[in-house]
Amino acid sequence: MNTPQVLISINLIFYLIGAILMSIAWMSLRDRSNPKRLTTALFWFLFGIGFLFGDLMLMYLGKTLTHKLLGIIVMLLALLAGFNLLGGGKYQTEDKAKVDADKNASAQRLGNKLFLPAICIPIITVILSITGKDAVWGNYALLDPKNLTLACLTVACLISVLYACKITGGTPITAIQESRRLVDAIGWALILPLMLAMLGGVFVAAKTGVSVQTLVTLMVNPDSRLALIIIYCLGMALFTMIMGNAFAAFPVMAAGIALPFLIQQHHANPAPLVAMGMLSGYCGTLMTPMAANFNIVPAALLELKDKYQVIKYQIPTAIAVLICNIGLMYFIV
């Protein structure tokens, strides 16, 4: 093997995520105030397996068996979540007034310094991703070049957590203990993006895109340029809503409508045609729960009661932009 040695490799990042998930599973198991503690712990444990042991399993069990076992885990995760077996615990203190007073006191004491570790995460990520591409540590490349942003984010998080500990006097252990509160608040939504990527994979294997393409071309009136543009933009938005991802919808709609009818028949200008088509897809992304990491995870992260509220607030903008987009395309392309 001639792969260069990498210090912060994607595998190391997965071990780190796995370790955090396993700690959360362990803490959930020991939390007697949580009536669903056994199933909650099982859920995070099962989710953690793929991160902590995925590579080992590949090495010892081979591809087929590993993937099958993980497939079974995926089904179990869905069942645990589907039958509402995840619950939150009571965490550290129950005396809310005291917790709030403590928070206010330390907010007063630490002042604006509290912002610094939080701001460090994005700033260090960006600086590293611009300058750290070729950084080396002895004989090792520092950051995995194939997963540069993720490696940069990991380093940024490690630095920030140490910095946060230094400022607040907490420890990394406290940080992980505290993160259980957030993880419980997010719950199953944390896994939804992975599940959706998985569904996308099944759609690709089942050639769903081809079916959509045939279906859409059936509705096309090749002589009307406006109708073609409307179907192209709406099709991008709708198919993106189903796939949760404009990247998956783009090749289907571009090969089905944009290329044969708009470019070859109506001699449309390709650059604006594809750019605006993709952006029509993004309007769809704003309107669908299938784009979970943009729409559902944030709702969970902000502890909204209605998990669809972010989408509801994005729909007016999405529809308005989509209409503008159709108009722009008609006049520009």
Residues 131-190 close enough to bind another protein by CB under 8 A:
147, 149-150, 152-154, 157, 160-161, 164-165, 168, 170, 172, 174-176, 178-183, 188-190
How many residues line the site for another protein (CB under 8 A)? 147
> Residue 152 or residue 231: which is nearer to another protein going by CB?
152
Q: Which stretch binds another protein (CB under 8 A): 29-37, 47-55, 132-140, 222-230?
A: 47-55
- Alpha-helix runs per DSSP H in the chain: 10-30, 37-52, 54-82, 96-110, 115-131, 148-168, 172-186, 192-205, 208-218, 225-243, 246-253, 270-285, 292-301, 309-332
Rounded Cα distance between 136 and 273, Å, is 42
Q: Shortest CA distance to 260 belongs to which of 213, 306, 320?
A: 213
Shortest Å, Cβ 37 to another protein: 19
User: Least distance (Å) from another protein to the CB of residue 154?
Assistant: 6
- Residue 200, CA atoms < 13 Å, CB-side half-sphere: 20
The nearest distance, CB 30 to another protein, in angstroms, is 18
Site for another protein in 289-328 (CB under 8 A): 289-290, 292-299, 301-306, 309-310, 312-314, 316-317, 320-321, 324-325, 328
Nearest distance in Å: CB 138, another protein: 25
Question: Could you tell me which stretch among 7-15, 30-38, 131-139, 222-230 binds another protein (CB under 8 A)?
Answer: 7-15
Span from 29-37, 134-142, 222-230, 239-247 in contact with another protein (CB under 8 A): 239-247
x/- mask, another protein, residues 242-261, rule CB under 8 A, reads: x---xx--xx--xx---x--
- Using rule CB under 8 A, residue 219 touches another protein: no
With respect to another protein, which residue has the nearer C-beta, 134 or 303?
303
Which of 7, 87, 193, 222: binder of another protein (CB under 8 A)? 193
Q: How far apart are CA 17 and CA 40, in angstroms?
A: 17
* Region 21-40 residues binding another protein, contact defined as CB under 8 A: 21
Q: Per CB under 8 A, which of residues 261..280 are in contact with another protein? A: 263, 270-272, 274-276, 278-279
Site stretch for another protein (CB under 8 A), options 29-37, 132-140, 194-202, 222-230: 194-202
Among 56, 198, 219, 226, binds another protein (CB under 8 A): 198
C-alpha closest to that of 210 among 244, 241, 266, 248: 248
Bridging pattern class, strands 6-8 and 136-137: unpaired
- Comparison of 10 and 234: residue with beta carbon closer to another protein: 10
- The token pair that represents 85 in the structure block: 């077996």
Which single residue is written with the structure tokens 């990498």?
6
Alpha-carbon distance of 81 to 220, in angstroms, equals 42
> Which residues contact residue 235 at a Cβ distance below 8 angstroms, ignoring those fewer than 6 apart?
216, 249, 253, 256, 257
- Under rule CB under 8 A, which residues in 95-124 are in contact with another protein? 102-108, 110-112, 114-115, 117-119, 121-123
Q: Count CB-CB contacts under 10 A for residue 96.
A: 8
Could you give phi then psi for residue 199, rounded to 5 degrees? -60, -40
| Interaction pattern, residues 52-91, with another protein; x per rule: CB under 8 A | --x--------xx-xxxxxxxxxx-xxx-xx-x-------
| Amino acid of residue 20 | I
Which letter, b or e, does each residue of 288-304 get, where b requires 16 or more Cβ atoms within 10 Å of its Cβ?
A: bbbbbebbbbbbbeeee
